[in-house]
Copies of this chain bind each other. A is one copy, B any other.
Amino acid sequence: MADPNSADMSSGVKRNALSVLMASAKKPKPGPIETLHKSTQGSYSFRDALAPLIQNPDNFVKSGEVMKYTEDYVLIHDKYPKASVHLLILPRESTRTRLHPFQALCPHVSKITGTKDFYDRMSEIVRECEDVAIRELKDLYKKTFTAEDLKVGVHSAPSMSNLHIHVISVDNYSEKLKNKKHYNTFNTPFFVSFDELGTMTREDARIKGGPMYCAQIASNNDLICWRCEKNFQNQFKKLKDHLEEEFILWKREKAGI
């Protein structure tokens, strides 16, 4: 895109929408909504990188990748954490792991049965995993944190095929946060909180899952500090520097343990 700030916004959007639609016409890429990344032909791809963790979590306990697991889920450290604490909840249910998160988790959206029950069970798990993340923050910084310091939810257009729920601290302080899209996927409506999933309607899902909505939101939005709301436009480097300052202030304001 060019001149995001200049002149005719509608024309810019239009061109962008067009190219997005054409792109999705060509290749069945991340394909928002419905079943994710149709796994035709057994050829493995980077999109399946989470599968081994679900299949055989025990293999990844020693390395620290897997923090805990039950019959129902695996809790892991995100391999490329976009904040000082960044965990992923991987539900193990084979009928849902390949579904788009809206289909797998939203009671009012899903076309398969039992989704309300599944969502409620996941709510319990989410609470447990939040506690793990909060403890991790406490151990790291010797301060008191709460669920308010976390975001829990999914990306409206995931790149990884296996169902996963992000549990991420709000700071976004991480060397793996390397570009604008990284930041915006957690700080725009591209990120859909677990709570939202519970109430989302099919119309909501249709819009948020739409290809051009997804493509637009993560890279076409200005960079806004999560804490002070300062606008950094496209200046990612400056945002990064700023995030360090906010990180320090954020920790400082927490009560000691």
Contacts and interface: CB of A to CB of B under 8 A. Distances in A.
A21 to B, nearest CB: 11
Contact of A19 (B3, B11, B19): B3
Contacts of A3: 15, 19
Interface string A3-26: 100111001000100110000000
Nearest to A1: B2
A154 to B, nearest CB: 29
Interface in A11-53: 11, 15, 18-19
Q: Identify whether the interface residues of A are mostly helix, strand, loop, or mixed.
A: loop
A6 B18 CA distance: 9
B18 A7 contact: yes
B19 A15 contact: no
A205 to B, nearest CB: 29
A95 to B, nearest CB: 40
A25 B1 CA distance: 23
Contacts of A1: 2
Contact of A8 (B2, B6, B7, B15): B15
Contacts of A18: 6-7
Contacts of A8: 11, 15
